[in-house]
Amino acid sequence: MANSAHSTLTGSDLHEPKGYAAASADTVYVADGAGSGTQQKIAAGQINTTSVKNVNKVFVTHVIDDISTAGSHWVVPGIAGNIVAISTVIDGVIATADCAMTFEIGGTAITSSAITIAYSGSAAGDVDTSTPTAARTVTAAQPVELISDGASTNTVRCTVTLELDVA
């Protein structure tokens, strides 16, 4: 094969893996360990998850400068999916009362998403979590509302993390 450009090679002139020109859409090359292989579709149950973790997970964070001030804060995830977990972590001690955090999408409360940040014994680094069960699907451009009741005192930052399953 004289003066052929790599970009114009086809069929039997291709390097291993051969056959890409005729491969079906949405397939991957699977090596057989003997110097060859085949194009295959990979079913979800065939993925080795011992080395591939959280492939459908996206984490979105938002910092609330003062959870002791009542009000709404907004975050747009930028990707569609289901919110499967919500966590908060505070940067200091809150006082007087617990801080109740609630979460909404389009004015609808996310079911089982409420988090109570306890003031008794609170300290920087305290983590609280919830596991939403319904009304938790968000589109890429849809804002999620994070609502603090402002019942606590002391100016304390809080980082809220939304875990989305985007499968």
For the chain, the domains span: 6-46, 57-165
**What per-residue confidence (pLDDT) applies to 41?**
83
Span 86-97, pLDDT tens digits: 999 999 999 999
Residue 163 has pLDDT above 70, yes or no: yes
pTM exceeding 0.75: no
Torsion sign (Cα): 76, 162, 60, 72? positive
| pLDDT value for 19 | 61
| Tens-place pLDDT, residues 134-156 | 999 999 999 999 999 999 999 99
Query: ∠ CA(130), CA(79), CA(70), 5° rounding?
Result: 45
Question: What residues contact residue 46 under an 8 Å CB cut-off, 6+ apart?
Answer: none
3-state secondary structure of 140: coil
pLDDT tens by residue, 30-58: 778 887 888 888 776 777 767 777 778 99
How many angstroms separate the CA atoms of 147 and 81, rounded?
Answer: 21
Beta-strand runs (E) in the chain: 28-31, 37-40, 57-64, 71-75, 81-90, 99-105, 108-109, 115-117, 127-130, 137-138, 144-148, 158-165
Q: Answer whether CATH 2.60.120.260 is correct for domain 57-165.
A: yes
Distance from C-alpha of 122 to C-alpha of 88, rounded to nearest angstrom: 13
The Cα–Cα gap between 42 and 102 comes to 40
Mean of pLDDT values over 73-84 = 96
